[in-house]
Structure 1
Amino acid sequence: MYMLWGGGAPFSKAAAGTDLTDVRGAKVRMIGAVPEVLRELKTDPAWINTVVGVASCTDEPEWAQECMRKFDIGSGYCIKDVMQIEEIHKGNKQGHLRNIAEQTGLAFEEVLFFDNERDNCLDVAQLGCTVAWVPEGVTAVAWAETLERFPEPGVILDFRKSSRS
């Protein structure tokens, strides 16, 4: 949301695809395989007991809520339909994850965390979560490899394109 200064709400669904546009017409999009991963988490019976949450540091939590309601992930679902817990407010990700752990009863070692910003990954890895640094978004490769390697408490899995060449 911080990239939308001068724009922001209200958001409209783009004519084609899953993108949204902000009030100035700037595109807002999910990156990587986020729609496919979230749809899998919502519809695949293998994930029925999995707690799915979002941790977002933003000055504009209302914008984030609107986008989660409007982003289509397929099969009639939006992002908000998948989330059981939301920590969307100012603050660092370590604080967000501490709140999520407290509310869910999960140990940090039971948590997978994906983020596109390195500093957030460093903060959360200190807690003992398995962390995936995904600057290009949660790609199919990042999703599959992180699941395969889980658990690796405190480890930051690096999914930069340059680290995969």
Structure 2
Amino acid sequence: MAKAKKLSKAPISDTASTNSAGSSSSAPTTTPSWLTDSLPLPALIVLDLDYTLWPFYSDIHISPPIRSLSPFVLSDRNGEHFSLFPDAPAILRLLSSPQCNIRLAVASKSPVGDLCREVLKSLRLPETEIRGQPKKVIDVFTTGGGGGLEIYESSKLRHFEVIAKRTGVRYEDMLFFDDERPNFEVESVGVTMKLVGRQGLCWEELEKGIQLWRERKGIVPATAGGSGSYAGGRW
């Protein structure tokens, strides 16, 4: 796997890091249309980590040990700062909320699974509190029906095989976000994959991914006074 992308060296202030890690400034100004149009949503959304959920390679850019500078920013041994992509925390918060009720999972080829888990445990989601503390990012993947974490060097097909067995969700009901084209291999089993750009997981990519998943399912919006339809029937 080519790893030509570079981590930004720009320092992150605590104020800026809060904004970049999903404060209200990263939330959409209006409720996303895909949430209010009454059309079906994926049962499970699966996320890659490196350059999809966060803007760095976990096995190259981080030099352990890591420590928290704030609930939303980490620092490593070399003083480098790390956080999720700007929109990612608010997206995770919304997708895992009762309003969406979408299960979430991780499928990553990173060879440093333990470090990735530590990062996910150390970072928090804004405006989500458990016993007075912001919710850990890892919790949206591992608690309350989360699809779990598959973080190890292997084919993404293997990752999805394990996730499907664990969750019982059909491949065609899954939506996958990843930054590398070779991982389109998962579409051979029925998973819909959305390739993300330089901004990683952001609101625009999320909307495009859901639209793509619906198109693959043959979902047709309801007409005035009628009901919508899709390949599997009506709702």
TM-score by length of 2: 0.58
Shift of 1:32: 4.5
Q: Which residue of 2 aligns with 1:46?
A: 99
Q: Tell me if the contact between 2:96 and 2:140 (Cα under 8 Å) persists in the aligned partners.
A: yes
Shift of 1:73: 1.8
Structure with larger RCO (C-alpha < 8 A, sep 6+): 2
Shift of 1:152: 4.5
- Residue-pair matches, total: 148
5+ residue gaps, structure 2, are: 1-57, 129-133, 218-235
Distance 1:25 1:78 in 2: 22
Q: Tell me if the contact between 2:111 and 2:151 (Cα under 8 Å) persists in the aligned partners.
A: no
Q: Which residue of 2 aligns with 1:80?
A: 138
Give the alignment of 1:1-165 within 5 angstroms: 1-4=58-61, 7-15=62-70, 18-43=72-97, 45-48=98-101, 50-74=102-126, 75=128, 76-83=134-141, 84=146, 85-120=148-183, 122-135=184-197, 136-153=199-216
Distance 2:194 2:211 in 1: 12
Distance 1:124 1:152 in 2: 17
Q: Which residue of 2 aligns with 1:163?
A: none
Distance 1:32 1:118 in 2: 23
5+ residue gaps, structure 1, are: 155-165
Which letter maps to 2:154?
Answer: G
SS at match of 1:2: coil
SS at match of 1:144: helix
Distance 1:97 1:127 in 2: 9
Which letter maps to 1:2?
Answer: D
Shift of 1:153: 4.5
The runs of at least 4 aligned residues of structure 1 exceeding 3 Å deviation read 151-154
Q: Tell me if the contact between 1:13 and 1:20 (Cα under 8 Å) persists in the aligned partners.
A: yes
Q: Tell me if the contact between 1:94 and 1:123 (Cα under 8 Å) persists in the aligned partners.
A: yes
Q: Tell me if the contact between 1:12 and 1:21 (Cα under 8 Å) persists in the aligned partners.
A: yes
Cα distance change of structure 1 residues 21 and 95 upon mapping to structure 2, 3 Å threshold: same
RMSD across aligned positions (CA): 2.0
Which letter maps to 1:88?
Answer: I
Distance 2:79 2:181 in 1: 29
Higher alpha-carbon deviation: 142-151 or 60-69:
142-151
Q: Deviations over 1:22-65 (max 9, x none)?
A: 2222222212511011111233x2223x3211111111111001
Q: Which residue of 1 aligns with 2:23?
A: none
SS at match of 1:90: coil
TM-score by length of 1: 0.80
Cα distance change of structure 1 residues 77 and 8 upon mapping to structure 2, 3 Å threshold: same
Which letter maps to 1:24?
Answer: N
